[in-house]
Structures are given as C-alpha cells and as structure tokens.
Structure 1
Amino acid sequence: MLERLQAVEDRYDFLNEQLSDPDVISDATKLREYSKEQSDIEETVQAYREYKEVTDQHREAKAMLEEKLDDEMHQMVKEELDELTERSEKLEERLKVLLLPKDPNDDKNVIVEVRGAAGGDEAQLFASDLYKMYHRYAEAQGWKTEVIEATATELGGYKEIIFMVNGAGAYSKLKYENGAHRVQRVPQTESGGRIHTSTATVAVLPEAEEVEIDIHEKDIRVDTFASSGPGGQSVNTTMSAVRLTHLPTNTVVSCQDEKSQIKNKEKAMKVLRARIYDKVQQEAQDEYAENRKVAVGTGDRSERIRTYNFPQSRVTDHRIGLTIQKLEQILQGKLDEIIDALIVEDQAENMQKAAE
C-alpha cells in the first residue's frame, strides 16, 4: 500500500510542476486534464503526508520510551504514543478507502427521473414528495436543481418529473437513490382511514459529456409542438416544446419547461445523451455479470430499496437493513444519515473485493 501511495504522491508533485509550465498553461486541454487529475488525488496525497508525519512522531515517541525518564515524563510520552497509534490506525483505514478504484461518474452532474408507479393518484403524490425531498437535499449540499420536464396532476402530484442536479459530487451521493421507493400511509383520497401501499421509481443518470457518447444529428428526429399544462390546458400557443427521438435506440425525450424552443432542445439533448449513456453502461454491466456469473448490482429499478412508513414515522433502507425513526426530517431533505451509511457499506464491500 505504501508503494502505491508514494507513487500517487510522486504523480501529484509531477502534476504540480507541469501546471507551472508555460507550455501547459497555454494549452487549455492539457491544463484542464492535469488540473482535474491533481484535484482527484489531492485528498489522498494530503492524507498520506499526514500519515507519514504521524508515523515519524510515533517512531520518535517510541524511541523516547526506551530512554531513562522520570515517572511523570514516561507517562506523558506513553499517552502521546497511544494517541499517535490511534491516529495512525485511523489514517491507515482512510488511506485504504482513498485507494479504492473511483467511480468515474462520481464527480458528474446528474439527471434524476421520478415517476409515480403502483398506486395511482397516491403514487403520483408520493413522486412529488420525493422530488421535494431531493430538491431540499440538493440545496443543503449547495447544488443547483433545474426542472427539465414535468407532467403534473390536478391533485398536485407528478406522473413524472425529470430534473438536473448540478454540483460537485452529485452523482457520488445521489446514485444510491436508484430504485423503487415504497410509501405506506393513508392517502388524501381515502375516506375510510385505511393505510395504502404505493410506489414511485427513481432513476439517477450521470450527465454524459459530448465526447463520451457519439450521437449523430442524422439519427435524431426532432418534433415540435405547443406546450401544455395539467388537464391539457394551453400554456403556450407557440411551438416551443421539443420531442427528440434517437432512431437507433428508439429513445424518446421531450421538454417543454422553457418558452424558448432552442433552450428546450438543449435540455432535451442532455437527457437524451444521459439516457443513452446509461443504457450503454447498463449493457456493459449486464455483460460483466453474465461473463463472471456474479451479481454485480445492475441498478435494477424494479427493486424496492426503501420504505417510508407514515403511521410509524419510520424510514427503512432494505439494502443495508437501516431503520430511522425520522420520517419528517428525511422528507425535508436530511438524507445524510442514510446516504453516508450506504457509502460506508459500499466502501466496505469494495475493500473486501480488493482483498480477495
């Protein structure tokens, strides 16, 4: 492990030199590439340097204990040695995590698609609750959200809502929300007070860069139409809404959120690119699982990943068996406790795989 860490530090120092080179500074592509690489490994390098410093202090303290010291000084050095041992062990565990292969999508912006599933009106109202939850969580993280497409219902729910989340590390946290979310509560439309179970699905797609997915204009059919709101009432009499169809994959995306046809097309193109990128990734994962005959977690969105139980104010994440009696706080966007637990579990699994 130490050899790998030293190699990472050497690479960091090399990149530091390159970023001061006038030839690199004048080359926008290289400058961006080197800056990103350095930023990606900076946390690992800082932790490794701290680890080396603590190791040196630990060695010095251990050597002092072997000298003739009075009782008071001996006790002080021993306490310092215990503290340094604890810090060293914690840093070592942190470095093991930092050396794990990083998901290449983690730093990307994301496109989130929330849809009401089983449960009719109640499922669509729950989809609205989930959108508000993610919107609040994104705000707390300092991320920006932007609605791309929404099909609202008369009761205030959503048949579907698609929105973008822009911010550093958005995918690294929101990717754990992929799947079917289940709600148990008495619906607004229920007069008998009976608890119903409904579901909404959440898909989290990393935004694909243009260089990653080669989409040709000739493969896209563009249709324009007038925007409309809930109940089919006309909102915009101009043909500003845009529907894109990617003919080779039959992927269809529409956007009518903006008054400008150009802006709607730009937004729709981002969603189209992300969906095709997700499809390519999914196919690669499926092939990997088939070849290795190992379930690698394909992100199957039919799986129920979490239950929101209103009568008991309880949220349960079934993947890690975590139950929290903080339903109201979670719906207010306070997702850190759940997402942090999922990240720790994911890291533990990856560390176990790396050790095999």
Structure 2
Amino acid sequence: MLPQTKLDALLARHAGLEAELTGQLSSEAFVRASRELSELAPVVEAVKAYRTAEQELADIEAMIGDATSDPEMRAMAEAERPQLMARRDELAQAIRIALLPKDAMDDRNVVLEIRAGTGGDEASLFAGDLFRMYERFAALHGWSVEVISASEGTMGGYKEIIAEIRGRGAFAKLKFESGAHRVQRVPDTEASGRIHTSAATVAVLPEAEEVDVDIKDTDLRIETMRSQGAGGQHVNKTESAIRITHLPTGIVVSMQDSRSQHKNRAKAMTLLRARLYDAEAQKLHAERSADRRGQVGSGDRSERIRTYNFPQGRVTDHRINLTLYKLPQVIAGEALGELVDALTTEHQAAQLAAEGAAA
C-alpha cells in the first residue's frame, strides 16, 4: 500500500504551486515554482490515475461480491479485474520510485574526466572513443559539452581529457559511468590480428557550487606560470597558466587552455570544487561500504565496470551482468541510454528493497 497521507501532501503541494504562480512573484521565485511544478506534474498525474484505478477496482469488487448483480455484468467485471489490478500495481510502483529520496546533485552539470590506463597508444585511442561516446550522448539530450583541458595521445585520442557537460539532469544520467572501462580489439597497428586489451578510467563528478564546498583563501596556494607546448605566438609571452594547490588535501589542479589568466583560474576553481566535493563523497561511500556492497554506483574508481569487446560486437556491464550485442550503437552514444536506464532501474530496486527492509 502507498502512504495516502504522503500522496495527499503531494497533491496539496501541487495545487499550492499552481495558486502561487497566479500571484505576483519575483522572476527568481517564478522560475523556482515553475520548475518544482513541472517536476511534480508527472507524479501527480500518476497519483490521480492510481486513485481512479483504485476506485474502479473497489466498484468492480463490490459488483462481484453483490449476489443481486446481473450475472453477465459480474462476468465482465471478473474479466476486467486482472487488467485493472495490473494497472494499479504498475502505477503504484511508478509512484514509489518517484517518491524515493533524490540525490541532491542529480540536476547538476557534470565534470567528466577520462584518463587512458594500461595499453599505451591503444588506451589513448579508447579514451578518445569514450569521450566521443559521451559527447554524442550529451548531444542527444540537448546538453552542451565544453573541453576544460586535454592532453592528446601520440597516435590520437587522449592521455587525459576533462570536460564540462552542462544540462539539466546530466549527473543523474551519467553518475554510474565512473569506474574502469576495458576494451578488447585488434589495433590498426597489429599486423598479426592479435586482440589487445587496454583500459581507461572515467570519473563523473557533479559540478559543485561555492555553497557546497567551503574553500578558504588561506587554504590555497596559487601559482602562475607560462603556458607550455604548442599554441602560437602568444605562448610563453604571458603567465596565463594557473596551478592551484589545496593545502589541506594536497589536491592540485592546473589549467593553461585559455590565454586569459582569469578564465584559467575560474576553470581551475570549478575543477577544484568538483574534486573536493567528490573526495568528501568518496569518504562517505567508504564509511557506508558495508551497506552498499553489491550496489550499483559504489563510486570506486578502480572498479572494472564495463568491457567493450569489438571482435564479438558486445558490451558487458559487469555490475548488473547485462550484455548488449550492439557495440557500434553504444560507442556512437545511441544505445548508451539502454545501459544507463538499466543501471538506474537496478539502483532504484536496491533503494526500494532498502526502504522495505527499514519499514
């Protein structure tokens, strides 16, 4: 059974927001109320449909239980009952999932970090493939992608690439992508056709705001340097590169992609905030590891989460034992959503099971 008082409160909140939006609101309050109303709308529709199904079911049960009812009508009610029960249960499950506690960071933008692991040039090429996969997946969702910094591999791809993905719900969709990704394929340079295994690590960090992470100026050591590497005539003429060290944790971020020291500093601070927030989140994950063992999204960066096998055209996510024989579509970002949705469903199932055990 669903908690009826919670459903009543949900409907009351929705009605309150509708009334609020007809009044005089500041632009900021209007945007906030409109956003909350749009988030509540599908749940409220499900609640109304659930209550309609419950009432219809009660009417049918009454008809079946009434000995004076027309036999033909009772038979029709008997035939309709299983379908209506299935509909009610389906709506109830959708509402339970909608009422699960949300990750406070789900709506945030994402800082995506991809690093080539074991496998030399092939690992760098694979890191490039992964970045393009996420780039296309982002485009399909209408999100924007901006590269913050990149270190290219000698044969192509990236030794490391860090990008910002901006879009509503980006972290909710991508948060289970953190971990070690493994590829098995025959490199173009391999004359004998031998399959090589290489790897890349992915870290998906929610973009933290100043209110999320308290960074004291006294905790920072900020150094300016001249940009290194190719970049045209402006390189080495101005000290635009920035390196920021967070002294309490030893986390270091460097940025030299822009000619503007101000822009490099802003990007470095964005990255530092995300890493500090993530470090705190990892600490909490570790403290709860006994409870979270076996769950999706443990947050362990060293955990091998997925294998992309090119000779067999398959992708296997080891956390949920799901294999898709559509590797080209996954790498193209088109079928990545199937993996993302399966991981989200598994996570929600674990949350529901935990709530049921606690009840």
Q: Is this a same-fold pair by TM over 0.5?
A: yes
Decide whether aligned partners of structure 1 residues 35 and 281 sit closer, same or farther in structure 2, where only a CA change above 3 A counts. farther
Q: Which residue of 2 aligns with 1:173?
A: 173
Structure 1 residue corresponding to 2:13, chosen from 11, 15, 21: 11
Higher mean displacement: 255-264 or 330-339: 255-264
Structure 1 residues 294, 325: closer, same or farther in 2, change over 3 A? closer
Residues 313, 234 of structure 1: alpha-carbon distance in 2 compared, 3 angstrom cutoff: same
Instruction: Please state how far the C-alpha of 1:331 moved relative to its aligned partner.
Output: 0.5
Q: Whole-Å Cα distance in 2 between the matches of residues 210 and 174 of structure 1?
A: 22
* 1:25-174 paired onto structure 2 within 5 Å: 25-26=25-26, 28=28, 34-63=33-62, 66=66, 68-69=69-70, 71=72, 80-174=80-174
Q: CA deviation at 1:75?
A: 6.2
Aligned pair count?
348
The within-5 A match list for 1:169-208 is: 169-208=169-208
Deviation of 1:36 (Å): 4.9
Quick one: distance in 2 between partners of 1:263 and 1:104? 28
Q: Aligned partners of 1:124 and 1:173: how far apart in 2?
A: 25
What is the alpha-carbon distance in structure 2 between the residues aligned to residue 258 and residue 64 of structure 1?
A: 74
1:234–1:34 distance in 2 versus 1, CA, 3 Å: closer
SS where residue 223 of structure 1 aligns?
strand
Tell me whether 13-22 or 331-340 shows the greater mean CA deviation: 13-22
| Structure 2, gaps ≥5 residues long | none
User: Deviation digits for residues 78-135 of structure 1, max 9, x if unmatched?
Assistant: 5554443332121011111112111111111110100001111111111001000000
In the alignment, which residue of structure 2 is the partner of 1:210?
210
Residues 340 and 38 of structure 1: CA distance in aligned 2, closer, same or farther (over 3 Å):
same
Q: CA offset at residue 62 of structure 1?
A: 4.6
Deviation at 1:260, TM superposition (A): 2.5
Indicate the RMSD between aligned Cα atoms, in angstroms.
Answer: 2.5
Task: Please give the alpha-carbon distance, in whole angstroms, between the structure 2 residues aligned to 1:6 and 1:195.
Answer: 59
Amino acid corresponding to residue 213 of structure 1 in structure 2: V
- CA distance change for structure 1 residues 220 and 20 in 2, over 3 Å: closer, same or farther? farther
Find the aligned partners of 1:294 and 1:331 in 2 and give their Cα distance. Answer: 29
The 5-angstrom pairing of residues 272-351 of structure 1 reads 272-289=272-289, 298-334=298-334, 335-351=336-352
**Cα-to-partner distance string for 1:243-287 (whole Å, 9 max, x where unaligned):** 222222221112233332222222221111110011111112223
The question of 1:233 aligning with 2:234 is answered no
Cα distance change, pair 288–158 in 1 and its aligned pair in 2 (3 A): same
* Alignment of 1:269 onto 2:269: yes
The verdict on how the C-alpha distance between 1:338 and 1:110 changes in structure 2, with shifts beyond 3 A counting, is same
Cα 1:295/1:304, change in 2 over 3 Å: closer
- Provide the C-alpha distance between the structure 1 equivalents of 2:32 and 2:212, rounded to a whole number of angstroms: 15
SS in 1 for 2:288: helix
1:89 aligned counterpart, secondary structure? helix
Distance 1:224 1:192, change over 3 A: farther
Residue 74 of structure 1 and its aligned partner are, at CA, apart by 6.0
My pick for the range that moved more, 54-63 or 100-109, is 54-63
Distance 1:167 1:234, change over 3 A: closer
Normalised by the size of structure 1, how large is the TM-score? 0.88
TM-score, normalised via structure 2 length: 0.88
Note if contact 2:121-2:154 (Cα within 8 Å) is conserved in structure 1: no
SS of aligned partner of 2:180: strand
Amino acid at match of 1:233: A
Bigger drift between 305-314 and 251-260 goes to 251-260
The Cα of 1:294 is off from its aligned counterpart by: 6.2
One-letter amino acid of the counterpart of residue 14, structure 1: G
TM-superposed deviation, 1:52: 1.4
1:47 CA drift (Å): 1.4
Deviations 1:289-329 (A, max 9, x none): 47x69677641111100001111111110001111111111
CA contact (8 A) 2:109 2:169 kept: yes
Amino acid at match of 1:4: K
Kindly tell me: are residues 219 and 59 of structure 1, through their superposed partners in 2, closer, same or farther at Cα, counting changes over 3 Å? Answer: same
**1:161: how far off?**
0.2
State the distance in 2 between where 1:182 and 1:266 align: 33
Match status 1:259 vs 2:259: yes
For 1:243 and 1:18, locate their aligned partners in 2 and report how far apart those are by CA, in whole Å: 47
